[in-house]
Structure 1
Amino acid sequence: MAPFELAHIGCASRLARLRNELDPKGNMKVLLSIKPEFAEKILSGEKKYEFRKVLPKAQDIKIIVIYASQPTGKVVGEFEIAQIISDTPNKIWSRTKEGAGISRRYFDEYFAGKALAHAIQVRTVKRYARPRALGTVLPSGIAPQSFCYIKK
């Protein structure tokens, strides 16, 4: 098989995999590992932005599923993305500080040495009535370091 054919097959299988990662409305979901205290602030409405150094490459992500990392270790809810803002850390802080849910010091430490920062603005939040074991969302049951696409 020619290299082009292999690449084409790879794209086709990736596309099929991405189609399986959509929610019923056709929106892609991504699971983010978030520290428990920040997950709770998002669920309570206090934290209106989730900050990231790196974003998923897929462009059509609409829903973030929240995995509250250890010691909680559960999938606790989800939120719809209002928008994603990418800019220098200083500009991101200026735009988001009122709803950041974190201190300026924590923000600066997180983005230390980075030229680019991302802020995911939270829209509609849904707290799960019962937190779910990670294995019910990810067959591997292994928490991602940052994020992963999730399948139906």
Structure 2
Amino acid sequence: MNGNKLFDFRKVRCREDVDKIIIYATSPVMQVVGEAQVMEIIVDEPEQVWQITSEYAGITKVFYDQYFHNKERAVAYRLGNVKKYSKPRSLSDFGLNFAPQSFVYV
């Protein structure tokens, strides 16, 4: 939320029509704290994606390499227009009963 991280990394690409990502804070907050527009989706070999995103990845190269270990493709979502909610919202506000392990469409 402070602007240090402009990319969200995933092993699987979402549908084409996704234009917004809801930001969930894990424990101890365990609530939705904001949202961001998907400005661009980068899909390529992990090393190529790192070269493009590393300055604003918000994670270390070691962590990145561990996450994409033995993967042929990496996906990076470039985020913009980040909006922090004045009051965090529960997952049930979005029709969810539990935190997804990957992503879910709402």
Calculate the TM-score normalised by the size of structure 1. Answer: 0.67
The structure with the larger Rg is: 1
Q: Say which SS state the counterpart of residue 78 (structure 1) adopts.
A: strand
Tell me the matched-pair count: 106
Q: Which sections of structure 2, spanning at least 5 residues, go unmatched?
A: none
Report what 1:29 is aligned to.
none
Q: Using the TM superposition, give the Cα deviation of residue 125 of structure 1 relative to its aligned residue in structure 2, in angstroms.
A: 0.2
Q: Distance in 2 between matches of 1:133 and 1:111?
A: 30
Report what 2:16 is aligned to.
59
Report what 2:8 is aligned to.
50
- Cα distance per residue 1:59-109 (max 9 Å; x no partner): 111111111123321000000011000000000001110010110000000
Percent identical: 42
Paired residue for 1:106, among 40, 63, 81?
63
Calculate the TM-score normalised by the size of structure 2. Answer: 0.95
Choose between structure 1 and 2 for higher RCO, CA contacts under 8 A separated by at least 6 residues.
Answer: 2
Q: Which sections of structure 1, spanning at least 5 residues, go unmatched?
A: 1-42
Q: Say which SS state the counterpart of residue 120 (structure 1) adopts.
A: strand
- Cα distance per residue 1:100-131 (max 9 Å; x no partner): 01100000000001010000001110000000
Q: Distance in 2 between matches of 1:69 and 1:87?
A: 28
Report what 1:15 is aligned to.
none
Q: Distance in 1 between matches of 2:55 and 2:18?
A: 25
Q: Distance in 2 between matches of 1:87 and 1:68?
A: 27
